[in-house]
Structure 1
Amino acid sequence: MSAGGEHLKDEGTRRQVVLAGGIAGLFSRFCVAPLDVVKIRLQLQIHSLSDPLSHRNINGPVYKGTLSTIQTILKHEGITGLWKGNIPAELMYLCYGAIQFATYRTTTQALAQLDPHRLPPPIESFIAGAVAGGTATASTYPLDLLRTRFAAQGTERVYTSLLESVREIARSEGRAGFFRGCTAAVGQIVPYMGFFFATYESLRPMMSGIQDMPFGSGDAAAGVIASVLAKSGVFPLDLVRKRLQVQGPTRSKYVHRNIPEYRGVFNTLAMIVRTQGIRGLYRGLTVSLIKAAPASAVTMWSYETSLKLLREYDVANE
């Protein structure tokens, strides 16, 4: 097993890993929240002049690029518009980070018990990452859906508060309403996290000795490269997830009023390709990659740093 793999997998108690994972998720989410709102707005936008009115009596696309989208949101919704959906997102990232890293650690330790028939390190990392990502995604999915719906709101508020949104979805859509698009989410996150952790574990030992890297270590750079490569491969499923999350009785009330009615992952994929071409599956990819770099860098750096500080604190208090 590589030194980098041992570092991430075996250092720290379960409590330390859970706390560090939660801290990493919270800190990362707050830093990239504006880019997340921009990404969601672009992903939900239908690029066609023949479509019904989209927003503010405009036919076709409202937003044109990352900077233009930020400027438009600031102009019409103020700076708080860039943090819409941040409360459910922070809750999601807190729970997601803790569940992800705890599951990753538990899975890798279980795989290590397969001696003398252990799998190669990259495969172990892939399996552990996939299991961790799938478990964390399914567990926190309702919060992900709420994050998307709040971020999709324009000046007209669909939900007045987090509690009201939960009540309204439960009343009008039932329990299934909280899991719209969950299949696409799990289908995306399993290969994404698998490839992310496998790539991260492979790159980290090589980059750990490089000086003058962002945040003072190679952890951040390894996280950036791993995330960008993994994100590009599974992006269409991320877009499908967002389109499915805003289905239901409130579909025509969001900032884009011309979101089509979609049913199921494969139906959504086919409909997007048929009406918008292959390019339609990659709306918002640029800002997604821009977001992925700092998000992964901050996540892995804050996780490693938090874990180190927690270990030092516990040692000092023994």
Structure 2
Amino acid sequence: MSASVAQLKHEGSQRQVVVAGAVAGLVSRFVIAPLDVIKIRLQLQIHSLSEPSSYRNLNGPVYKGTLGTLKRILHEEGLTGLWKGNIPAELLYLTYGSVQFSAYTSISHLLETIPPPYELPSSAASFISGAAAGAAATTVTYPLDLLRTRFAAQGNDRVYTSILASVRSIAQHEGPTGFFRGLGAGVSQIVPYMGLFFASYEQLKPIMANYPLLLPHGSSDAVAGIVASVLSKTAVYPLDTTRKRLQVQGPHRARYVHRNIPTYTGVLMTLNHIWKHEGRRGMYRGLTVSLLKAAPASAVTMWTYEQVMGLMLAYDEEHKGD
């Protein structure tokens, strides 16, 4: 498939959009699961090895860099440690992909109905559609995101023994709002992220498509997705760290692999605390692995979405007369 994101709005039925989005999310999650666990561990760490006076007697691991974190998890928790939280994460990505692409196409169609001379420029329409789709998908799937973070944050001392046990525990000790800790940071992050991502992707994809010899077999879609994702992810990363810190608040905060996570009560308070006590390093801890994760995730997502959509459209075309 070589159609642009804007053209995707006119391809396929709503069911096909949902299926393609779900498959894309599922595949991308499987690919980047270990990097996601490493990123979460780094984001929840309030000190690094370069701050020796700060991490003594923390009663928990201190990770240094992506490879150092990978080695330590493998040594202390085994290979399965890199896939902690994978079940809620798979459900998250499966649902998120469906909601995101479905909302994006629906909102795009709605914006196209705006009559002249009030119609929006293509880039503005893509930004609004992407931001709104991201906010909707984030809100709908947020409890799964929270469960993913909490499972990835627990070491050999298991806070929750199963998904069902975690749901029961949160409902009993934290109430319904416990499933949405940090939602404000999540929405605040995803709105500019998805808006910037889709707007950048729309602009980059036709440019990349002009180099078929360098980027054959649909790889231009993947490259455009990588560049757009890196730019967007870096811009909003402090909010992602804030979301992770808020997600592990609650009665079991001191039982996660990092046992010294401070108490936070809101987005602004968390941002201020991290900046005051950890500085810029704290805001961007784990950014390297986050970018390593974001690049293949977005590339696989966009490439898989367009390939699955292409297969379904081709199937419909072949069986049109049946």
TM-score (norm 2): 0.94
Task: Name the structure 1 match of 2:158.
Answer: 157
Instruction: Choose the corresponding residue for 2:255, options 248, 253, 256.
Output: 253
TM-superposed deviation, 1:206 = 1.3
Could you tell me whether the CA contact under 8 Å between 1:99 and 1:136 is conserved in 2? Answer: yes
Paired amino acid for 2:219: S
Q: What is the CA–CA distance in structure 2 between the aligned matches of 1:279 and 1:100, rounded to whole Å?
A: 31
TM-superposed deviation, 1:208 = 1.8
TM-superposed deviation, 1:200 = 0.2
Could you tell me whether the CA contact under 8 Å between 1:18 and 1:101 is conserved in 2? Answer: yes
Q: What is the CA–CA distance in structure 2 between the aligned matches of 1:161 and 1:317, rounded to whole Å?
A: 44
Paired amino acid for 2:7: H
Q: What is the CA–CA distance in structure 2 between the aligned matches of 1:214 and 1:317, rounded to whole Å?
A: 28
Instruction: Choose the corresponding residue for 2:57, options 35, 50, 53.
Output: 53
Paired amino acid for 1:54: L
Paired amino acid for 1:10: H
Could you tell me whether the CA contact under 8 Å between 1:25 and 1:299 is conserved in 2? Answer: yes
TM-superposed deviation, 1:51 = 5.2
Deviation readout 1:219-242 (Å, 9 max, x if unpaired): 000000000000000000000000
Q: What is the CA–CA distance in structure 1 between the aligned matches of 2:59 and 2:112, rounded to whole Å?
A: 54
TM-superposed deviation, 1:54 = 3.0
Instruction: Choose the corresponding residue for 1:276, options 275, 278, 301.
Output: 278
TM-superposed deviation, 1:210 = 2.0
Residue aligned with 1:263, SS: coil
Q: What is the CA–CA distance in structure 1 between the aligned matches of 2:149 and 2:143, rounded to whole Å?
A: 10
Deviation readout 1:155-196 (Å, 9 max, x if unpaired): 111100001100010001000100000000000000000000
Q: Does 1:239 align with 2:241?
A: yes
Q: Does 1:38 align with 2:44?
A: no
Q: Does 1:217 align with 2:219?
A: yes
Q: What is the CA–CA distance in structure 2 between the aligned matches of 1:110 and 1:220, rounded to whole Å?
A: 27
> In 2 relative to 1, CA 214–266 (structure 1 residues): closer, same or farther, beyond 3 Å?
farther
TM-superposed deviation, 1:307 = 0.5
Q: What is the CA–CA distance in structure 2 between the aligned matches of 1:198 and 1:210, rounded to whole Å?
A: 20
Aligned ranges 1:1-318 → 2 under 5 Å = 4-47=4-47, 49-50=53-54, 53-56=57-60, 62-116=62-116, 117-211=118-212, 212-213=214-215, 216-318=218-320
> In 2 relative to 1, CA 215–65 (structure 1 residues): closer, same or farther, beyond 3 Å?
farther
Equivalences, count: 312
Q: What is the CA–CA distance in structure 1 between the aligned matches of 2:234 and 2:163, rounded to whole Å?
A: 31
Could you tell me whether the CA contact under 8 Å between 1:158 and 1:254 is conserved in 2? Answer: yes
TM-superposed deviation, 1:279 = 2.1
Residue aligned with 2:58, SS: strand
Q: Where does the alignment leave 5 or more consecutive residues of structure 1 unmatched? A: none
Could you tell me whether the CA contact under 8 Å between 2:208 and 2:215 is conserved in 1? Answer: no
TM-superposed deviation, 1:68 = 0.8
Q: What is the CA–CA distance in structure 2 between the aligned matches of 1:109 and 1:21, rounded to whole Å?
A: 17
Paired amino acid for 2:202: E
TM-superposed deviation, 1:5 = 4.0
Paired amino acid for 1:33: A
Q: What is the CA–CA distance in structure 1 between the aligned matches of 2:167 and 2:318, rounded to whole Å?
A: 44
Deviation readout 1:99-144 (Å, 9 max, x if unpaired): 0000000011111111322111110000000000000000000000
Paired amino acid for 2:57: L
TM-superposed deviation, 1:316 = 2.5
TM-superposed deviation, 1:313 = 1.8
TM-superposed deviation, 1:215 = 6.1
Q: What is the CA–CA distance in structure 1 between the aligned matches of 2:107 and 2:210, rounded to whole Å?
A: 27
TM-superposed deviation, 1:20 = 0.1
Q: What is the CA–CA distance in structure 2 between the aligned matches of 1:195 and 1:246, rounded to whole Å?
A: 28
Could you tell me whether the CA contact under 8 Å between 2:6 and 2:202 is conserved in 1? Answer: no
Q: What is the CA–CA distance in structure 2 between the aligned matches of 1:198 and 1:6, rounded to whole Å?
A: 10
Q: Alignment RMSD, CA only?
A: 1.4
Could you tell me whether the CA contact under 8 Å between 1:33 and 1:82 is conserved in 2? Answer: yes
TM-superposed deviation, 1:277 = 1.2
Q: What is the CA–CA distance in structure 2 between the aligned matches of 1:109 and 1:238, rounded to whole Å?
A: 30
Q: What is the CA–CA distance in structure 1 between the aligned matches of 2:8 and 2:59, rounded to whole Å?
A: 46
Misfit runs of 4+, over 6 Å: none
Q: Where does the alignment leave 5 or more consecutive residues of structure 2 unmatched? A: none
Paired amino acid for 1:156: D
TM-superposed deviation, 1:317 = 2.9
